[in-house]
Structure 1
C-alpha cells in the first residue's frame, strides 16, 4: 500500500514510519521544511497547500499532525496554536483528498480521548457523547474537519488515542525520571482513570485499521484502564522504586496552569470498536504494557 503520512516527527510518528515500511508498505512523508530525499514531500498546511498529485497517488493518508498538548503552558496564544495546528492540517488534507482523482481509499486522522472529557468512574466507548472542556471542544472541531474527505467517499477513521506508553515520550517520560530518582508517586487523588495503550499495540492497531472495514471514531486504548494510583504502582514495580511521593493538585496547577485541570481528569475509556473487531491486543494489562515501555 502507498501511504502518505503527515505529522510524523513526534514520538509516535517516528515509530510508525519504520513499522509501516517493515510491514511492506511504501511511505511518503509530508514535511514543512525543504524535502531531503525521495521519501519526503514539502507542504504548507497553514496556507492550505499540498500537492494533490501526491495525495492522488496514495492509497491511504495518515494524519498525526498537531502541536503537543502538554508541551507548554496553556496561554491564549498557545491554545490557538493547539487548535490551528490540528484544524489547518486536517482541513488541508481532507480538501485535497476530496479534490483528488483517484482518491485515497482511507484517511486515518488523529484525535484523542480528550473528546469524552471527564468521565469519572463511568466507562465510555465510541458510542458515548462528547464531554466538556477545552480538549473536548478541540476534538470535536478537529474531527469535523475531516468531513470533506468523508463526503467525497473516502473511508475516514478517527484515531482517538489515549496515553501511549514509552519512557521517552508522552506522559510516561517525566514520570519515568521521577521514579528513577526515587521521587515518584501518584498525581492528585490517584483515583482518576488513565486510558493507557502500549506503543506496539498502538502501531498494530493503526496498521490494522488501514484495511479493516471500520469507519468513524476508534478508541486506541488498552482493554483495561486503570486508576492513576494503579498506574503509578505498576511503574514503581517495573523500576523497583518506591511509590511514596504524591504530587498534589495545587502543585500541578502551579507548574502546568490550566492544563493541570485536564491532566487530572478521569477518563475510563474502553476500546469498543477494536474489541468488537477482535483486534489481538498483545498487552492487555498495565503491567504487561509498562514492562514493554520501561524495557524497550
Structure 2
C-alpha cells in the first residue's frame, strides 16, 4: 500500500511567506541606499540595464540548478512580458531618472502611491475585495509616507521628475497585478527570471552607455551595481514572487511601506544621512499601517 506524507501545516506556509516578505523589504530598502550611491556614476538607463543583466544571470543559474520548468500558456507569456516591461523595465528606468530631478522626499510620496493602486486594483481586477483592515492600514501607511516625504523634501522637484515618479508608481502596480495570476501555476523563480530577462532585452539600447559608464565609474560603484542585480533584483524579486503566490496582492503591496523607515536607518548607518524627527515619526506610522493591514479579516462576499 502506498502512503503519502502529511501536508505541511498551514502555519509553516504562513511563516515562509512572511520570511520571504522580510527578505524582500530589507533588500529593497538597501537598494535605495545603493542606487543613491551608484547613480552618481551611472546614467539611469545604464544603471537599469546593468542591474537587470546581473539579475537575469543570477536567476538563470538558480533556475538551472532547480531544474523546474513549467511551459507557460500564451496568456501567461503575455502577462509575464507585461510584468517585465512595466515593473522590471520602465519602473527601474523611470525611478533612476526621477532621482536625478526630484528630491528623496517627493519621490517617497509619489512612488508610494503604487501600493495604494495595487490594493484598489487588486480588489477589482483580482476579486480580492476591500477588507476593512487592509484599507485602514494602507491609508495609515500612506500617511506615514507623506510625513517622511514632507520631512525630507527640499522643494527641488520639477514637472518632469514628478511625472517620472508617477510613471514608476503606475508601472509598479501594473507589474504586480500582471504577475499575480501567473504565479498560480508557474514557479516563482521561473516567472522572476523571465520577467527580468524580458526587461533586460528591452533595455539593450542602453548598452553603449553602460559600456562607457563601466569604464569610467570607480570600481566600488560597479561592485554596488552588481549587488543591486544579485540581491535587490534576483533575490528580492524571487522572494516577492514566492510571497505573492501565497498572499493577496493588496496586503503584500502594503507591506512595502516598511521599506521607507528601514531605508532611513540604513541611510543613517551607511551614508551618514540623519533624518529629521518628523521623518522618524512617519517611519513609525508606516510600520503601524503595515501591522494594521496584516490583521486577520473575513472577506466580504457580494
| TM surpasses 0.5 | no
TM-score range, shorter chain: under 0.3
Bigger fraction of residues in helix: 2
TM-score, scaled to structure 1: 0.27
TM-score, scaled to structure 2: 0.27
